[in-house]
Structure 1
Amino acid sequence: MGDGPVTDGLAIETHGLSKHFGQQAAVDSVDLAVPHGTVFGFLGPNGSGKTTTIRMLLGLAAASAGTVNLLGREMPDNLHEVLPRVGALVEGPAFYPFLSGAANLHRLDSASPHTVPGTRKARVQRALERVGLEHAAGKRVHAYSLGMKQRLGIANALLSPRELLVLDEPTNGLDPQGTREVRNLVRSLAHQGTTIFVSSHLLAEVDQMCTHAAVMSAGKLVAQGPLTELRQAGSTRLRLVTPDGGAAREVLGRLGLVPEPPDPGLQAQPDGETIAVVLETAAQQAAVLPEDVVRHLVQAGVRVRGFAVERESLEDRFVALTGEGFDVAQ
């Protein structure tokens, strides 16, 4: 087995990653680029191919085509070298129900050839404390709530120091307090230098937790990058209310702006008609300043009775990319 190429700056990199089940493409030519040290949200509606992609990243499923590099090493050729540096919670945790939380972690830790037995007890205790389960360490897992099992699964992923943590729907079943605890835990790990890859269908979770994101839809990657850039990539609508519609359209035309067709469903307003202009691209938004539009209108004698700037929300942007809705709350 070769070492594979080292990829500077990226904790996860895929090229043309695909997975087919018969004639159906569950994952279709995905090119992921996850920078080191980021909290990277892997966002998409349920069934969009997120978990299948994660299973291929971790060597749990064979890819039909494409390549995977994890922590600078080609997968799955370097599986045994890379996976000890990766913690993962995929498709929900599975534990021995009649053992306690602490006993489960002891057994899982002892199964790894890379751990030191002499420090096991302290490491288990620290992992339980980090996820807020120290009070339930001696309780049998069958008595745990779903949220407690989720946190125990994250504790298992944190038993040893990790360079990369992969979490598939980590807040499933958590109440709002548990969700905040996981969010704070992820942030603290990121501050310590761990790269966090979080798969979720919850837009609010990604929006509050992540620095970067990728969006999946029907097995395809439709967008990725810093979250700030994804927010800015949406359209902006300028909405003008004026009794001087004809003159306003002339001014907008001179500025290179094309108003939307009037909405026949809108009733006439006392202050005049509403004229809307959509700026689709970031270049348009940078070139057209709302205050300049108002200044040109006023200088031309157009009476401006109302003016609003409506920016596309992150939810609107993702729905436009996927054609499907996202859950925006727990």
Structure 2
Amino acid sequence: MRSDRDDNERRAHELRAFTRGTAVVPILVQEDPDPDGMASALGLRALLQRREEDSPIISLGEVTRPENQRMAELLRLRVVRVSEAELNGFKRVIAVDTQPAPGETRTRYAVVDHHPARDGYTADFVDIRPHLGAAATMVTQYLRATDERRFTPRLATALIYGIRTDTEVLRRGTAAEDIEAYAFLQGIADPELLRMIGRPAFSEGGVRAMGRALAGLRTDGDLAVAYAGRLDQRAAHVLPNLADFCLAIEGVAWSAAAGAVGDELVINIRRVGGAIGAGDLAKSLAEEEGMGGGHPSMARVAIRMGPDRRFPDEPGDPDATAWVLNHLRARVERLREVRSGAASGGSGG
């Protein structure tokens, strides 16, 4: 529709105005950069007509999953890791597929995201659309509304892969806009390059950790949990795949794969159906103990491990698996009670 195109054209011009007059405006993606974030950052740089040195793609973490590393390598995408102090030293930052951390900062932000809005930060420009399946869809709309000549096979391949991964090839959390953007990009993207990026790869150690975690799998009703032991950052990518696999077990509606990474217990959560989503559970877990969030169907939480809470190195450890299972089950029940109480209060008013 013309009005939608006008809205996206206006947003694109506002983003350009946000960067005008500032020599370096980095584009911030999430801590473990994923295809949607990296592709969206690449697209925003094309929209802004900026060079890499003027708008570097930055993150507080590193690209860890092999397929994401392969994407960055094949598409010549460089993600620069920065510290919080370095991030706060920039005058202006565009956050895409993520949102700024809560708290006071002198940095001025623009936000482009499809995750639910978070509180605790201020921004000069905000475009948050949780009904969309991918931030890459939003960036595709900006570019189509302003200058379609900016689409190269490389950029279209990145954007379509971003949409593909965040929506499971248009099967999860997909809106009409995602489908339209995907169809448009398909005519420009390089199919051979897309195939090369999407080929999964796991280290032998990662596969063995997955196998032993599955051997120690615990279930409780519709919840399945696997514990992958201690993982270095390069092997932590097995957790999302392990959580996906556990969700395929008959009768399971919740799955979680956990592992000790650095000084954190990282838990990847998957959910199918239901009023309470994976993101709700991750946020609940993070309220007291760490950082977390995500979508209704998939989420991630990192719980800080203090000296009084250490998790074993061994994949499939029964005590660690049981702790995660019981902890998640208790949180799910608490969320159900809160939601039930809110519904009862609303009906009685």
* Common topology (TM > 0.5): no
Computing the radius of gyration over CA atoms, which structure comes out larger, 1 or 2?
A: 1
Give the number of the structure whose residues are more often helix, by fraction.
2
- Class of the TM-score when normalised by the shorter of the 2 chains: under 0.3
